[in-house]
Structure 1
Amino acid sequence: MKASHHIAVLPGDGIGREVMDAAAQVLHAAGARAGIGFELDTRPAGAQHYLDSGVALPDETLAVCERADAILFGAMGLPHVRGSDGTEIIPQLDLRFHFDLYAGVRPIRTFRGLRTPLSDPRAQQIDLVLVRENTEGLFYARGRGDARRDAQGRTVEVFDTMRITRHGTDRICAFAFELAQRRAERLGRAGRVTNVDKANVFESMAFFREVFEDVASRHPAIGADSAYVDAMALNLVLKPWSYDVLVTENMFGDILSDLIAALVGGMGMAPSADLGERHGLFQPAHGTAPDIAGQGKANPTAMILSAAMMLDWLAERHGDARLGDAARGIERAVEAVFAGGAVLPFEFGGGDGTRAITEAVLERLRHA
Structure 2
Amino acid sequence: MKLKPDAIDLGHNGSPVSAPDQRRSPPTTYRIAVLPGDGIGPEITDVAMQVLEHVTTVVDGLRFDLMLRSAGASHYRKNGVALPDGVLADCLAADAVLLSAIGLPDVRRKDGTEVQPEMMVGLRRALNLYAAARPVRLYPGVESEVRNTVHGIDMVIVRENLEGLFASFDGGTQVDGEVATDTIVITRAGTRRVVDFAFRLAQKRLGRPTDRRRVVTCVDKANVFRSFAFFRKVFTDVAAEYEDVEAETMYVDAACLHLIQNPGAFDVLVMENQFGDILSDLGAALVGGLGLGPSAEIGDNHALFQPAHGSAPPLAGRNIANPMALILSAAMMLDWLGDRYGDRSALKAATLVENGVAKVLAEGDVLTPDLGGRATTKEVGQEIINCIC
Percent pairwise identity: 50
Which range is displaced more, 26-35 or 45-54?
26-35
CA distance in 1, matches of 2:149, 2:138: 11
Q: 1:68 aligns with which of 94, 117, 122?
A: 94
CA distance in 2, matches of 1:349, 1:310: 28
The answer as to 2:143 corresponding to 1:115 is yes
Unmatched segments (≥5 aa) in structure 2 = 1-25
Match of 1:15 in 2: 40
The answer as to 2:123 corresponding to 1:100 is no
Match of 1:218 in 2: 241
Verify the 8 A CA contact 1:342 1:360 in the aligned structure 2: no
The answer as to 2:78 corresponding to 1:52 is yes
Verify the 8 A CA contact 1:76 1:92 in the aligned structure 2: no
Tell me the CA shift for residue 112 of structure 1: 1.1
Match of 1:134 in 2: 161
1:204 partner letter? S
Counterpart secondary structure, 1:184: coil
Q: 2:282 aligns with which of 239, 255, 259?
A: 259
Match of 1:81 in 2: 107
CA distance in 1, matches of 2:147, 2:189: 42
CA distance in 1, matches of 2:184, 2:380: 41
Verify the 8 A CA contact 1:113 1:338 in the aligned structure 2: yes
Match of 2:3 in 1: none
Tell me the CA shift for residue 67 of structure 1: 0.8
Verify the 8 A CA contact 2:154 2:264 in the aligned structure 1: yes
Q: For 1:184-333, list aligned pairs within 5 A.
A: 184=206, 189-333=212-356
Q: 2:65 aligns with which of 29, 32, 39?
A: 39
CA distance in 1, matches of 2:149, 2:253: 24
TM-score (norm 1): 0.95
| CA pair 219-121 structure 1, distance change in 2 beyond 3 A | closer
Verify the 8 A CA contact 2:207 2:267 in the aligned structure 1: no
CA distance in 2, matches of 1:34, 1:168: 38
Verify the 8 A CA contact 1:193 1:224 in the aligned structure 2: yes
Counterpart secondary structure, 1:125: coil
CA distance in 2, matches of 1:30, 1:130: 28
| CA pair 102-223 structure 1, distance change in 2 beyond 3 A | same
Counterpart secondary structure, 2:205: helix
Counterpart secondary structure, 2:36: strand
1:84 partner letter? K
Match of 1:359 in 2: 382
Root-mean-square deviation (Å): 1.5
Match of 1:152 in 2: none
Tell me the CA shift for residue 97 of structure 1: 1.3
1:290 partner letter? P
Q: 1:143 aligns with which of 170, 182, 207?
A: 170
CA distance in 1, matches of 2:196, 2:227: 18
Match of 2:184 in 1: 162
Write out the 4+ residue segments of structure 1 that deviate beyond 4 Å after TM superposition.
185-188
Question: Greater relative contact order: 1 or 2 (C-alpha under 8 angstroms, separation 6 or more)?
Answer: 2
2:135 partner letter? P
Tell me the CA shift for residue 348 of structure 1: 2.2
2:101 partner letter? A
Verify the 8 A CA contact 1:19 1:354 in the aligned structure 2: yes
Unmatched segments (≥5 aa) in structure 1 = 150-154
CA distance in 1, matches of 2:203, 2:302: 22
